[in-house]
Amino acid sequence: MTSQAAGATASGAPLRVLVARAVFPQHIERVSEYFTVDYHDSDDPLSAPQLRERLADKHGALITGSERIDATLLAGASELRAIASISVGYNHVDLPACSSHRVVVTNTPDVLTETTADLGWALMMAAARRLSESERWLRAGHWRRWSLDQMLGHDVHGSTIGIFGMGRIGQAIARRAQGFSMRVIYHNRSRLAPEIENECAARYVSRRELLETADHLVLVVPYSPSVHHMIGAAELALMKRSATITNIARGGLIDEVALCDALRRGVIAAAGLDVFEGEPKILPGLLELPNVALTPHIGSASYATRDAMAHLAIDNLVAALSGQVPPCLLNPEALAF
């Protein structure tokens, strides 16, 4: 049964949408209530040619961060009106190209803020206290006795956390830091309002001071070409030798070759990474280093949060294809043509 709220073609037929990746059963059932669905029921992403072919006659699409939407694809999808991404980041979508083709683009912010902050906190602690390294060492059968200098790490409580990017997730991390009696410093494109700084017990500092002062640096910066490799050899050299760096934003923010070199030479103590520049491929050097904790882009990976993300994406898609303004619209200029 197709809901009238989602609209129809000129002939009265249901609108056609592509669901580009495997989703939970309740999600595909819900999308199917509104649209005729072409479902790619797989965790293997469609190739660029396959995606172009599948979108050629579609009015909308439910995608993830793995599907790239660019001008070439849009040129062959004349009926496309809406792209709903199950993600917060949207650097996989060419927004100007979508706007020029009158294609509405949406994302799923807010619902994953706390869950992603949890994961960032877990990675930071794992890096500081050498949890991944200790577990591998233990599982390999190396633990024979206790010693005073065994697997020494660096304290989190009472230290200084530096947050690069003080949006929703950055603020959630800052709130958690209060429970560990940490000093919170941050750098952002623009300074927060005083009431938000007070709520987060956070102090605004320059980029250089952030790097030089933080015991534990956490990156929560939205990715764009302007911040590609914003952390490289020069920035790592400014940090304390005892410092850790945690990235839960996008892999391209860090020059991973420079990071490997810094970790190998003890320029900084450790790193915690949930995102990688070439993911799912990982730079081999990162896999070889003991002082880096690695997770496979699981920042939002709790049952409740992934379910909420998919439902919000569906809300966006239904609204966009029924002529309404979707709740998480990224390119309002697409509505102005």
> Annotated catalytic residue: which of 59, 176, 216, 250?
250
297 is annotated as an active-site residue: yes
91: Cβ contacts below 8 Å, ≥ 6 apart: 222, 223, 224, 250
36 CB contacts (<8 Å, ≥6 apart)? 2, 13, 14, 15, 16, 17
Each residue's pLDDT tens digit, 189-244: 999 999 999 999 999 999 999 999 999 999 999 888 899 999 999 999 999 999 99
Averaged confidence pLDDT in the chain: 94
pLDDT of residue 316: 97
Specify the pLDDT at position 2: 36
pLDDT score, position 30:
97
Q: Tell me which of 102, 279, 311, 333 is the catalytic residue.
A: 279
Closest to 88 measured CA to CA, from 110, 69, 67: 110
**How wide is the angle at C-alpha 185 spanned by C-alphas 174 and 128, nearest 5°?**
70
Q: Going from the N-terminus, what domains does the chain have, and what CATH number goes with each?
A: 4-111+302-335 (3.40.50.720), 113-294 (3.40.50.720)
Question: Does pLDDT of 247 surpass 80?
Answer: yes
Q: Residue 25: its pLDDT value, please?
A: 97
**Is the model's pTM score more than 0.85?**
yes
The whole-number pLDDT of residue 1 equals 29
Residue with tokens 């439902």: 311
In whole angstroms, what is the distance from residue 236 CA to residue 216 CA? 12
From 183, 297, 311, 333, active-site residue: 297
Closest CA to 41 of 27, 56, 57: 27
What pLDDT, on a 0 to 100 scale, did the predictor assign at position 89?
87
Distance, CA of 307 to CA of 86 (rounded, Å): 10
The pairing of strands 60-63 and 16-19 is parallel
Active site residue 139: no
**271 and 126 Cβ atoms separated by less than 8 Å:** no
pLDDT on residue 12: 67
Structure tokens at 181: 């009696």
Q: At a CB cut-off of 8 Å and minimum separation 6, what does 265 contact?
A: none
Q: For tokens 């934003």, what's the residue? A: 249
264 labelled catalytic:
no
